[in-house]
Structure 1
């Protein structure tokens, strides 16, 4: 459902922008605008706003768009992007780190390192926000968010502020049971005691490995497909002869073929169609149906 006019939007102390650009910060730098791009002032502001919003209007939370294809027709309803005021990271007793949902994974890992908390180093390798990482059970280098998350706080679609244990998310591989339209606003992680120098060395190793193996300086969306049980998506894509495959200005990365690239001027339709072609070729070659890891949202142009 699209919002009919400005006067149907509830009061907001933050900002609400009609036709807010998403391609300005989505990693692929493609896609249409948000019908309404909302930046709440704080948790209370967000809860009051979505609670008063017509229940038929969809609410979609977005972070930095590091694992997202926004289709060229844009996103209907309200897209919520948490501002920097939601990015605070603090240390708590018991080797715990509390992080606002707008904080980046590297910020959480760095704060843990400085406090001598080990076990969160892998968050250095996750290029998105805490909110997105909690929603999709993000993982890297053998660990997932589900391994370290204690609890989370979210604003649900009806405007309730809910704090719940991590188990309530029903985590599986790159998936959670977080309800539709719910916005994660905070997360509590727990590690174990560690030596800051050792923790820092592991974070540096992760950063160097990512730099060497992934197209980090390109317009991309991170890992495109989930790894099938007992296999690697990139290996199946390579086996199907898709390394370097192109559709318009979209390309399968030659450096890491589970990454799609916008070489400049690609549309979201080009990128998604290239992904579908890769899936078809992998299925024909290997009999394996790759599942999208990148979230695809919005309407076609």
Structure 2
């Protein structure tokens, strides 16, 4: 049975933003698969988000998404309220050598804004397809940099609607992990840049963009890097050695170009993609003894009769 959300709407507090029952989520994701949100909430601003969380019944699940570049929504949809941050959450401001970005700001936009103000050190963000909220939550990194290297603090709102400021140490950032409780929704973060000639920084951003295009299936329906690199290994090498390059299940395929990417060839379901990922994990475990950990976030329920791995 599809998640309609109409009954849930009657239990939710009033908002200044937008509440939508049964909102399709698949078209929002880079994989272009998945079921609906029972209710989708687009808050007007931080105050609207905090008031909503404070008034939302404790038994209602709350999930937050960005541009869904590293997200797989299961075919049965997402129960409860799915929150998507846009509008004022996508703003970026520069003061001196500090760059403050809303959680909904694209990582690439933050890197380019810093460059336009003559600041270097943040260009690695241009190689991460996502938003700042997700980047902080997973300590995203690429091309020699990680969020932990440049972040000074982050602001977040917990499930009770309380606002918190976390300095770098309080975030407890490690490889692809943040130690802040999962129920905290990051709303903004501040990063430290360094004065540098903008043209030099732009050249590095251009080089990163070209390297991505050369090595990754950036124009395909994909969710980005699928598995985190295990300590001492590269995930793609383990996947390749396990004979999984080009492996397909239904409409999903392991990329021939970069085998740590899963592709929707056009008619894949979320179940196809997740099953393919689990098959890759099993083959890698059998051939190398290494357990791959999903880097892609998987949310929601399978369709009736299906079992999520």
Please, what TM-score do these two structures have when normalized by structure 1? Answer: 0.97
Matching residue of 1:31 = 34
Segments of structure 1 that go 5 or more residues without pairing to the other structure are: none
Matching residue of 2:130 = 128
Segments of structure 2 that go 5 or more residues without pairing to the other structure are: 304-309
Q: Which residue of 201, 207, 210 maps to 1:205?
A: 207
| Cα distance, 1:83 vs structure 2 | 1.7
Contact residue 18 and residue 34 of structure 1 kept, 8 A: yes
| Cα distance, 1:3 vs structure 2 | 8.4
Q: Give CA-to-partner distance per residue, 1:144-163, whole Å, 9 cap, x none.
A: 11111110111111001212
Contact residue 105 and residue 128 of structure 1 kept, 8 A: yes
Q: Give CA-to-partner distance per residue, 1:67-122, whole Å, 9 cap, x none.
A: 111111111111100122211111112x1101111110111001110111111000
- Where 1:24 maps in the other structure, the secondary structure is helix
Matching residue of 2:161 = 159
Q: Which residue of 101, 104, 116 maps to 1:102?
A: 104
Matching residue of 2:183 = 181
Aligned pairs for 1:1-301 (under 5 A) are 4-93=7-96, 95-301=97-303
Q: Give CA-to-partner distance per residue, 1:205-226, whole Å, 9 cap, x none.
A: 0000000000000000000001
Contact residue 6 and residue 21 of structure 2 kept, 8 A: no
Question: Partners in 2 of 1:167 and 1:70 — Cα distance?
Answer: 32
Contact residue 152 and residue 184 of structure 1 kept, 8 A: yes
- Where 1:76 maps in the other structure, the secondary structure is strand
Question: Partners in 2 of 1:3 and 1:277 — Cα distance?
Answer: 37
Q: Give CA-to-partner distance per residue, 1:22-46, whole Å, 9 cap, x none.
A: 1111000001111110000010000
- Where 2:226 maps in the other structure, the secondary structure is coil
| Cα distance, 1:170 vs structure 2 | 1.1
- Where 2:35 maps in the other structure, the secondary structure is coil
| Cα distance, 1:298 vs structure 2 | 0.8
Structure 1 outlier segments of 4+, above 6 Å: none
Q: Give CA-to-partner distance per residue, 1:214-266, whole Å, 9 cap, x none.
A: 00000000000011112110011001110000000100000000000000110
Contact residue 18 and residue 41 of structure 2 kept, 8 A: yes
- Where 2:72 maps in the other structure, the secondary structure is strand
